[in-house]
Each structure stands twice: as structure tokens, then as C-alpha cells.
Amino acid sequence: MADFVLERADKEHIGAVLKPILAADTILRTDGGKALGAVAREMGIVHRPVNLAQGIRVIAGVYHIQNVNAYDSRLKEWMHRFHGVATRYLANYLGWRRLIERSHNVPQPRTVLPAALGMNHDQQLTVT
């Protein structure tokens, strides 16, 4: 979990953050920023940018920026109730939110307990 502010949004700084955490089979979905594209090329990963200014919102029928925007909106709305979350615990909150999303906002005890005990195979990898 990152506990810093990105000093500059350039290829070197973004690359230093992304390289240790992105797998080789990652598909990077971005708004088309040049630095992100350069990092993706350097890493040899697939980059699928969208260009909202040109009205491009969907690439190949599956890479849809609105999916990201919708999730971001739901996450922010849900997080608002906590009045801020310490970066140290962010991974826990994101895991909790993923559990809620997967259960369509109605988590069942049979899925919550295994997840809480770390017996769920869908947990996000956190690099420390």
C-alpha cells in the first residue's frame, strides 16, 4: 500500500510506482496520458487508452471508461460515511468494498466469514 504522494506525474515517477505491482498480463486502462502510455510500452503491457475529448468511450466493445467511473462513484459514496480512512487501512476498506460489490450489495454470512478469515481466493494482492 502506497503511503506517499506522487512527486511528479511523469514516466519515471509513475513507472517507479507501477512496475513493482503490475503483472505482465495487465491491461492498463487510462485516459490516454502520455506518461502512462510510455510506462506501459516500457513494461511491455497492454495499454488501452480512451480519448473522451474525441468522444471515444469504448475500445473493442469491452474497455469502457464508464465502468471505472461508475465504480469510482460507488466507492466514494460508500467511503464518505467513514469521514476519511487512514492510508494504512485502505486495503482493508477496499477488500470490504469488493466483497460488497461481488454480492450485489447484499453480503451473506457464508461469504463474509471466509473473507474475514482470509480464506477467500479473490483477495487483492497488496505489495508492501
The distance in angstroms from the start CA to the end CA of the chain is 6
Q: Residue 12's pLDDT is what? A: 93
Per-residue pLDDT of the chain (128 residues; tens, 9 = 90+): 455 677 888 999 999 989 988 898 988 888 777 899 999 999 999 998 877 777 766 767 766 777 777 888 999 999 999 988 888 888 888 888 888 888 888 888 887 888 777 776 554 544 44
| pTM, entire model | 0.52
**Predicted confidence (pLDDT) per residue in 56-93, tens digit:** 667 677 667 777 778 889 999 999 999 888 888 888 88
99: left (phi over 0), alpha (psi -120 to 50) or beta: alpha
| Euclidean distance between CA atoms 100 and 112, whole angstroms | 9
Residue 17 DSSP SS3? helix
